[in-house]
Amino acid sequence: MNVQIDPHTLKRLIERGATEGEIRDVVENGQPVSARHGRLAKAKVYEFKKERHGRYYEQKRVEVIYVVENDVVITVTAYVFYGKWE
């Protein structure tokens, strides 16, 4: 699958604590989640087991919002949530 990571998404990944590899993995292997404005979204939970901003978190959940144009996935943004999911 051809995934094009938008510069806005790259900027957000750094701020929110995700990697480019995770973004690609979420798009290719994540679970579909709801998105607004006719966009698509997928999410995946990763083991984290580290501190972030002074708090320890077991896991992080990466959500990628994207569109598909001419068989190319183009990311819109990415969100990262920290906590524990089953």
Per-residue pLDDT of the chain (86 residues), as tens digits, is 799 999 988 988 889 999 999 999 999 999 999 999 989 999 999 999 999 999 999 999 999 999 999 999 999 999 999 999 97
- DSSP E strand stretches across 1-86: 2-4, 31-33, 40-52, 55-69, 72-83
Quote the mean pLDDT of the chain: 94
pLDDT the model gives residue 12: 85
From its phi and psi, is residue 71 left (phi > 0), alpha (psi between -120 and 50) or beta? left
Task: Give the model confidence (pLDDT) of 40-49 as tens digits.
Answer: 999 999 999 9
Could you list the residue range(s) of the whole structural domain that residue 51 is in? 2-83
Supply the CATH number for residue 27's domain.
3.30.2310
Quote the pTM value. 0.92
- Say how far apart CA 57 and CA 55 lie, in whole Å: 7
Give how many domains the chain has, as a whole number.
Answer: 1
Residue with structure tokens 């068989």? 71
Return the DSSP state at 22.
H
- Whether 28 contacts 21, CB under 8 Å: no
pLDDT value, residue 14: 86
